[in-house]
Each structure stands twice: as structure tokens, then as C-alpha cells.
């Protein structure tokens, strides 16, 4: 019996050690931003394309108030309710005191300032594909935005989802370094569209179905998914269902009106608002990219 108990204890220790190593946070290399000169002017365009304000501004904020990133919006899910944190330039309650590497580790590796795993409600699985220069520019621009002293509110999650160490295992399972559409023959326009859709605008985070653990089903990329709020569905935007012409999709991403003269609603209204601020060439690049996504019914 003593041998059996000892053997079980050894196996448990080995298993725990393996889990601890496998779930260790993996920060970016120290020289990731060496030699770069941040450009806050371009950073504003990155900020817009990435939709940062859409989640981190106050609920219902308009005009200049959308640049105040005090957080507080609530995002229900099957795992509980995530509450957007303060990412304003406030040094105490926001990210005003963060360094560029700390900022980059958060949005590209899902690692907090204290080395903790961040929940994937922050779409770092998409943002990991962002270019270092865009990260540096985004950081520089966000430091110019107004500070807000509103404390971040805790997420409302039940056990075991409160155990952040387990997110490391989730990352190992579901955060792939590969592009979802990895065709070698993408044109320059399609490649630009992929960068906007898969990295900056993180379209797959909403339009792709997930499994029971919240991992994206990349075999059904952009094929539509239940709304995490429990209200309705997020549409399929693969060529199987998105049958509008290229000009019609560009018009939708510019004005929010469909070919049937319906208007965009819900959170997608913020996406269209952001897309409309980008150059038309970027919107057309997204449309070109969508044409290369495999059709899924």
C-alpha cells in the first residue's frame, strides 16, 4: 500500500510539474521592438481598425467620449460575464504606466503586467499576427488619449474559470500561430485584407463557431456562430451565404446599409463605424479576402 501511495504521489507530482511547465506564460522576445520609431498618427488608424474603443469605452459613449477608455462594458458568455478593463492612459487605473513590451505581451500573448494569463475575451489570438511597427504605433497613440481614473471591475466568473493558470493550457490547445487562410497564392490585396480581417478587426472571434471550451472551430472559419449573449446568431460571411457583390459589401462596410436597405445593428454597428474610417482600399481588401475563405453552409 505504501508503494502504491508513493507511486501515485510521484505520478501526481510529475503531472503537476508538466502542467506547470505547459501553462507557463510565454512573453515576446526582448528585442521585438528594437530599432522601431513609434508613429502615433498611424497608430490612430491601427486603433480604429482594431476596434479598441468599441469594447473599452463606456456603454453608449458618443463622439469624443469614445476616446475615453475607462472600461465597464459587460460581455456575457457561457463561462460568465467579462467586464472590459480600463485601458486609458491613467497611470494608476489604466495602462499609462505600462511599457511598450508590457503592452505588447498583453495584446499579443495574453499576459498581464504581473505575469498572469489574461482571458481570451481580449482577442490576443488574433492580435498575435499584428506587425511590431503597428503595435508600437498603437501604443504611442493610446498614450495620447485622455486618462480616466475609473477602477477596472472584476470579471464575474464561476470556478474553475477563476483559475487563470488553466488559461495557459487553453492557449496551448487553441491559440494557433498560423493564419486561418494560409493559401500561398494570395494577392497583395488579399493579403492586406487577411491582415485586417484576421489580425486587426479579429472578425473570426465573433463569426466563427466555438467548441465547448471556447476554442474556435477553424474548420468552419467565418461560418457563423451563436451570439455569446444568447440573443440570435452572428451570420455566416463565407461565400456560401455572403452572396452580395463586392461593391455591395464595400457599401455595407461604409454606410451600414445592406442591399435590401436594412441597417446594421448591435455590436456590428461599431465595426462598420470603424471600417468606414479606413481607406476604401482597405475595405476592398477585406472583400477580396472574404472571397478566398472556403464556403461553409
| CA nearest neighbour of 86 among 142, 133, 5 | 142
| CA nearest neighbour of 25 among 97, 142, 110, 134 | 110
Give the three-class secondary structure for 113. Answer: coil
Whole-angstrom distance, CA of residue 253 vs CA of residue 274: 9
Q: Give me the pLDDT at residue 232, please.
A: 82
All residues at 6 or more sequence positions from 186 whose CB lies less than 8 Å from its CB, including other chains: 194, 289, 292
Whole-angstrom distance, CA of residue 76 vs CA of residue 50: 21
pLDDT 10s digits, 67-79: 999 999 999 988 8
Domain layout of the chain by residue ranges: 35-174, 188-290
Q: Give me the pLDDT at residue 249, please.
A: 97
Q: Give me the pLDDT at residue 230, please.
A: 73
Other C-beta atoms closer than 10 Å to the C-beta of 271 total 19
Q: Give me the pLDDT at residue 12, please.
A: 52
Alpha-carbon torsion angle 167, 171, 172, 176, nearest 10: 170
80 beta partners: 77, 157
Q: Give me the pLDDT at residue 26, please.
A: 86
* Buried/exposed code over 173-196 (b: 16+ C-beta within 10 A; e: otherwise): ebbeeeebbeeeebeebbbbbbbb
Q: Give me the pLDDT at residue 229, please.
A: 72
- pLDDT beneath 50: ranges in the chain: none
Long-range (24+ apart) CB contacts under 8 A made by 79-83 are 79/157, 79/158, 79/161, 79/214, 80/155, 80/156, 80/157, 80/158, 80/161, 81/155, 81/156, 81/157, 82/119, 82/121, 82/155, 82/157, 83/152, 83/153, 83/154, 83/155, 83/156
What CATH architecture applies to the domain 188-290? Orthogonal Bundle (1.10)
Other C-beta atoms closer than 10 Å to the C-beta of 25 total 18
Amino acid at each position: 500500500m505504501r508503494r502504491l501511495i508513493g507511486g501515485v504521489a510521484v505520478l501526481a507530482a510529475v503531472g503537476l510539474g508538466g502542467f506547470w511547465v505547459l501553462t507557463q506564460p510565454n512573453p515576446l522576445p526582448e528585442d521585438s521592438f528594437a530599432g522601431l520609431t513609434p508613429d502615433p498618427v498611424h497608430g490612430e488608424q491601427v486603433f480604429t481598425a482594431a476596434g479598441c474603443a468599441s469594447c473599452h469605452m463606456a456603454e453608449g459613449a458618443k463622439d469624443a467620449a469614445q476616446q475615453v477608455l475607462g472600461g465597464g462594458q459587460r460581455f456575457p458568455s457561457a463561462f460568465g460575464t467579462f467586464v472590459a478593463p480600463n485601458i486609458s492612459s491613467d497611470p494608476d487605473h489604466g495602462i499609462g504606466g505600462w511599457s511598450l513590451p508590457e503592452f505588447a505581451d498583453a495584446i499579443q500573448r495574453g499576459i498581464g503586467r504581473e505575469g498572469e494569463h489574461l482571458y481570451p475575451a481580449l482577442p490576443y489570438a488574433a492580435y498575435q499576427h499584428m506587425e511590431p511597427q503597428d503595435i508600437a504605433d498603437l501604443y504611442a497613440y493610446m498614450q495620447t488619449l485622455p486618462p480616466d481614473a475609473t477602477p477596472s471591475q472584476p470579471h464575474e466568473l464561476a470556478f474553475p474559470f477563476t483559475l487563470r493558470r488553466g488559461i495557459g493550457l487553453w492557449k496551448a490547445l487553441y491559440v494557433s500561430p498560423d493564419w486561418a487562410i494560409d493559401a500561398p497564392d494570395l494577392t497583395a490585396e488579399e493579403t492586406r485584407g487577411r491582415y485586417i480581417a484576421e489580425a486587426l478587426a479579429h472578425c473570426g472571434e465573433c463569426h466563427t463557431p466555438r467548441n465547448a471550451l471556447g476554442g474556435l472551430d477553424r474548420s468552419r472559419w467565418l461560418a457563423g456562430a451563436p451570439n455569446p449573449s444568447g440573443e440570435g446568431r452572428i451570420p455566416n460571411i463565407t461565400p456560401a451565404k455572403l452572396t452580395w457583390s463586392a461593391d455591395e459589401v464595400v457599401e455595407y462596410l461604409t454606410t451600414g446599409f445592406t442591399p435590401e436597405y436594412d441597417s446594421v445593428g448591435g455590436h456590428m454597428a461599431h465595426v462598420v463605424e470603424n471600417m468606414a474610417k479606413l481607406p476604401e482600399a482597405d475595405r476592398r481588401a477585406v472583400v477580396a479576402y472574404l472571397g478566398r475563405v472556403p464556403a461553409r453552409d
